[in-house]
Amino acid sequence: MQLFAIPAFYDNYIWLLADDNNHCLVVDPGDAAPVERFLADNEMTLGAILITHHHPDHVGGLQRLTKQWPVPVYGPDNSSIAGITHSVYDGDRIALASPTLGFDVLEVPGHTLDHIAFYSDTLPEPLLFCGDTLFSAGCGRLFEGTPEQMDNSLQRLTALPDHCRVCCTHEYTEANLRFALAVLPEDPAFNQRSRDVAALRAAGQPSLPSTIGAEKISNPFLRVDDKLLQISLENELGKPLQEHNQRFAALRAWKDRF
Ligand code: ZN
Ligand code: FE
């Protein structure tokens, strides 16, 4: 299996996973054109589409793609998404025929209420397609859900194995790290990750996929119980934040203002 990040729009990636016979799936095709071009250039056959949530930059290419490729489309149970053939729910196990792969479905509300993630442990290195829930060094904005929902969703994802590859939909890593360093300027993990990502981006490479293990140390939203992070949050707000939930909400709100 080979994993590709097809750039789309300004900072989206449409993830494509292909087997040795060039049968592939794509995740969140917000735009059909770059996918069609990639399939043609690489003589690939589309076998399935996965959808994480209803936002246009994740579903915009669905109609046009499925006209040419009438493949199964797995996504959330949301009637506003035209083109889903298989609505899937938390705990569902998807068995794809082509490429031959299994995925577990996790409901991860927060960014939107319909947001789901797809986890595969049928590969030598497990893989997570998490849409706009977990970003490298950040998390999605709360358009529909509460901070508690997002926090719970992130905790479910970080319960996955450390070596699980994390495929997020946006190249937000550098911007997220600028915020992380505003919160904790001296943090060794934030600084190290910033240097690594700067080198990748300077070489024209995506900063993704990340891994669950890397996110646990270099993502401030997964570290709100960290003592120094708590102090920084309390300084920013000018009041004590005893509860984990308060700290998560305060960090998310700070990022929104940043
Ligand atoms: Zn979104
Ligand atoms: Fe998005």
Query: Catalytic residue among 19, 104, 132, 187, which?
Result: 132
Indicate if 121 belongs to the active site. no
Span from the CA of 55 to the centroid of ligand 1 (angstroms): 5
Ligand nearest to the CA of 8: 2
Span from the CA of 228 to the centroid of ligand 1 (angstroms): 30
Strand, helix or coil for residue 94: strand
Domain range 2-257, CATH class: alpha beta
Indicate if 115 belongs to the active site. no
Ligand nearest to the CA of 112: 1
Query: Catalytic residue among 28, 57, 114, 151, which?
Result: 57
Q: What angle do CA 95, 162, 195 make, to 5 degrees?
A: 120
Span from the CA of 30 to the centroid of ligand 2 (angstroms): 9
Q: Tell me the C-alpha to C-alpha distance, in Å, between residue 123 and each of 1, 15, 139, 214.
A: 8, 16, 25, 19
pLDDT tens per residue, range 154-200: 999 999 999 999 999 999 999 999 999 999 999 999 999 999 999 99
Task: Give the whole-number percent of the chain exceeding pLDDT 90.
Answer: 98
Judge contact between 146 and 176, C-beta under 8 A.
Answer: no
State pTM to two decimals.
0.97
Span from the CA of 28 to the centroid of ligand 2 (angstroms): 9
- Kindly state the helix (H) or strand (E) to which residue 121 belongs, with its residue range: none
Q: What is the DSSP track for 140-208?
A: ---SSS-HHHHHHHHHHHHTS-TT-EEEESB--HHHHHHHHHHH-TT-HHHHHHHHHHHHHHHTT----
Helices (H) and strands (E) in the chain, counts: 9, 14
Span from the CA of 193 to the centroid of ligand 1 (angstroms): 24
Q: Tell me the C-alpha to C-alpha distance, in Å, between residue 145 and each of 106, 149, 153, 241.
A: 16, 6, 11, 21
In the chain, what are the domain boundaries?
2-257
Distance CA 101, CA 59 (A): 22
What's the mean pLDDT in 61-69? 97
Ligand nearest to the CA of 12: 2
Query: Catalytic residue among 23, 54, 55, 115, which?
Result: 55
User: What's the pLDDT band for 124 if we cut at 50, 70, 90?
Assistant: confident
**The two structure tokens encoding residue 20:** 């040795």
State residue 214's pLDDT score. Answer: 98
Query: For the chain, what is the mean pLDDT?
Result: 97
Distance CA 98, CA 149 (A): 34
pLDDT tens per residue, range 72-110: 999 999 999 999 999 999 999 999 998 999 999 999 999
